[in-house]
Amino acid sequence: MNPKNLPPGLHRDTLAVRAGIERSQHGENSEALYLTSGFVQPDAETAARRFAAVGDGYTYGRTSNPTVTSFEQRLAAMEGTEAAIGASTGMGAILMMCMGLLKAGDHVICSRSVFGSTMNLLGREFGKFGVETTFVSQTDISEWRAALRPTTKLLFAETPTNPLTDVCDIQALADLAHNAGALLAVDNCFCSPALQRPVEMGADLVIHSGTKYLDGQGRVMAGAVCGPSRLIVDVFGPVVRTAGMTLSPFNAWVVLKGLETLGIRMQAQCANALAFAQWLQTHPKVSRVYYPGLASHPQHALAMRQQSGQGGAVVSFDVVGGDPVAARTNAFHVIDSTQVVSIATNLGDTKTIITHPATTSHGRLTEDQRQAAGIGQGLIRVAVGLEHVDDIKADLLRGLDSLR
Ligand SMILES: *Cc1c(COP(=O)(O)O)cnc(C)c1O
């Protein structure tokens, strides 16, 4: 029911507000929210065709919904992929992808600094079903190459990583995957399509947690996989239909509207984050700042190339502290001295969020896994929002200045 076919060649900013509109007969300007679990069929014959998945038309909410379709089409347009499919959460999207692509005996290569739940899903849960995952360095391509096996089906990367913002070379990993007959999936949560389009650099699939920047205001959980129709429609569609990690229409609607402001939010939050990171670098109680937008970042040049010249909006830093206990005490002091920013574990919100990764987002990893990922007890992650940057600095300065 798309009354206006959009002309080709529109800018991403335009697609963000115009792509994927399923306008009803009422002609609403803001996208409709179809809050319904089922769809009435005009007749038995049509119903039979639709349920056999050959006809256009909606049948049941676990399979598809017009609001979810709008979100999927808009996100695909922004990522530059043929198609996208929604999921209940970012982890639901990764689960859907793995269920669709992998079977017992298959092998996966994954960076060892990806999101903690992703490591557990691949290593622990899929390990139970005979899928083996090798975890390798985020940045050392030779480790990825050495890990390849004849059974390798998937390379999984996340860039920049959470919370240390390590950046991997998407093009190099795509070449490696394709030469080995494998696929490359990139978790694009930290940059969003506003900054980084992994398929332009050769990635096959793009993963999103819509919970983060796509919603952008910390309201709902959502996820998506973007990629070619042959995988989205023919492989992942059946997984969602049978396994049920379906994106709710309400959440799809919230995230759909979030996409309209994604570009301007990302620009403003990146600018805040850069100013904040530059300031942190000058504080004597901060021993190291992790932010791709800083010249001191080990992959600064690569990040600027891959991420539209932007560092993203997540800044992590180590506070001083001689041993892990002292470092944790200091980190907790800085966090507990804030009065404006939120102590939480989400990111991608307009509200700045401060996190102690070692005891929260990465708290379920073993100490060995945390060490391997380089996440110390003095590490603090700040997901910079839209408050005035001077207020964010002042909020952190209170704790930093009163450290012993
Ligand atoms: C949050 C996050 C996820 C998981 O998304 P949920 O919506 O919380 O399930 C996956 N990858 C990255 C990089 C994330 O930050």
Q: Looking at residue 2, what is its pLDDT?
A: 43
Query: Do 397 and 319 meet the contact criterion of CB atoms below 8 Å apart?
Result: no
Question: How many angstroms separate the alpha carbon of residue 125 from the centre of ligand 1?
Answer: 17
The string of DSSP codes covering 186-232 is: EE-TTTHHHH--GGGGT-SEEEEETTTTTT-SS----EEEEE-HHHI
CA 21/CA 384 separation, integer angstroms: 31
Q: Looking at residue 55, what is its pLDDT?
A: 61
Q: State the DSSP code for 89.
A: S
pLDDT in tens, 142-198: 999 999 999 999 999 999 998 999 999 999 999 999 999 999 999 999 999 999 999
Index of the ligand 1 atom closest to the CA of residue 212? 1
pLDDT in tens, 128-144: 999 999 999 999 999 99
Q: Which of the listed residues 114, 115, 125 should we mutate to test ligand 1's pocket, taking the one with most ligand atoms within 8 A of CB?
A: 115
Instruction: Give the fold, CATH level 3, of 12-259.
Output: Aspartate Aminotransferase; domain 2 (3.40.640)
CA 196/CA 37 separation, integer angstroms: 34
Domain extents in the chain = 12-259, 263-401
CB 251 less than 6 A from any atom of ligand 1? no
Collect contacts of 291-296 with beta carbons under 8 A, ≥24 apart. 291/165, 291/315, 291/316, 292/160, 292/165, 292/167
Q: State the DSSP code for 357.
A: G
Q: Return the number of other C-beta atoms located less than 10 Å from residue 39's C-beta.
A: 17
Tell me the three-class secondary structure of 321-356, residue by residue: CCCHHHHHHHHHHHHHCCCCCEECCCCCCCCCEEEC
Instruction: Give the fold, CATH level 3, of 263-401.
Output: Aspartate Aminotransferase, domain 1 (3.90.1150)
CA 202/CA 81 separation, integer angstroms: 11
Q: Looking at residue 339, what is its pLDDT?
A: 98
CB 158 less than 6 A from any atom of ligand 1? yes
pLDDT in tens, 349-393: 999 999 999 999 888 778 787 877 788 999 999 999 999 999 999
Token digits of residue 403: 């450290």
Average pLDDT over all residues of the chain: 95
Share of the chain above pLDDT 90, in %: 88
Q: Which of the listed residues 162, 245, 251 should we mutate to test ligand 1's pocket, taking the one with most ligand atoms within 8 A of CB?
A: 162
Q: At what angle do helices 324-336 and 389-401 cross, to 10 degrees?
A: 130
Index of the ligand 1 atom closest to the CA of residue 222? 7
Kindly give, in sequence order, each residue whose CB lies less than 8 Å from that of residue 2, ignoring residues fewer than 6 positions away.
21, 22, 23
Q: Looking at residue 123, what is its pLDDT?
A: 96
Question: How many angstroms separate the alpha carbon of residue 221 from the centre of ligand 1?
Answer: 9
CB 209 less than 6 A from any atom of ligand 1? yes
Token digits of residue 123: 């290593």
Residue having the nearest C-alpha atom to atom 11 of ligand 1: 115
CA 393/CA 374 separation, integer angstroms: 25
pLDDT in tens, 47-69: 999 888 766 789 999 999 999 99
CB 157 less than 6 A from any atom of ligand 1? no
Sign, Cα dihedral of 316, 321, 325, 328: negative
Share of the chain above pLDDT 70, in %: 99
CB 188 less than 6 A from any atom of ligand 1? no
| CA dihedral angle for residue 317, residue 354, residue 139, residue 134, rounded to 10 degrees | 130
CA 79/CA 376 separation, integer angstroms: 34
Q: Which of the listed residues 88, 89, 91, 245 should we mutate to test ligand 1's pocket, taking the one with most ligand atoms within 8 A of CB?
A: 91
Question: How many angstroms separate the alpha carbon of residue 355 from the centre of ligand 1?
Answer: 15
Q: How confident is the model at residue 1 (pLDDT cuts 50, 70, 90)?
A: very low
pLDDT at 12 over 80: yes
Q: Looking at residue 3, what is its pLDDT?
A: 42
CB 403 less than 6 A from any atom of ligand 1? no
Query: Do 208 and 226 meet the contact criterion of CB atoms below 8 Å apart?
Result: yes
Q: Which of the listed residues 121, 188, 189, 192 should we mutate to test ligand 1's pocket, taking the one with most ligand atoms within 8 A of CB?
A: 189
CA 74/CA 64 separation, integer angstroms: 15
CB 169 less than 6 A from any atom of ligand 1? no
Sheet holding 83-87, edge to edge: 83-87, 223-227, 205-209, 183-187, 152-158, 107-111, 132-136
CB 215 less than 6 A from any atom of ligand 1? no
How much is the average pLDDT of 216-230? 97
CA 346/CA 262 separation, integer angstroms: 17
Q: For residues 55 and 397, which has the higher predicted lDDT (pLDDT)?
A: 397
pLDDT in tens, 278-316: 999 999 999 999 999 999 999 999 999 999 999 999 999
Residue having the nearest C-alpha atom to atom 8 of ligand 1: 90
Beta-bridged to residue 343, according to DSSP, are: 354
Question: How many angstroms separate the alpha carbon of residue 99 from the centre of ligand 1?
Answer: 18
CA 261/CA 161 separation, integer angstroms: 24
CB 139 less than 6 A from any atom of ligand 1? no
CB 159 less than 6 A from any atom of ligand 1? no
CB 89 less than 6 A from any atom of ligand 1? yes
Question: How many angstroms separate the alpha carbon of residue 24 from the centre of ligand 1?
Answer: 33
Index of the ligand 1 atom closest to the CA of residue 348? 15
Burial class for 175, CB neighbours closer than 10 Å (0-12, 13-18, 19+) = middle
Q: Looking at residue 322, what is its pLDDT?
A: 82
Read off the pTM: 0.94
**Which 3 state secondary structure label does DSSP give 47?**
helix
CB 114 less than 6 A from any atom of ligand 1? no
pLDDT in tens, 315-331: 999 999 888 899 999 99
For residue 80, what are the CA distances in angstroms to 12, 15, 164? Answer: 9, 10, 27
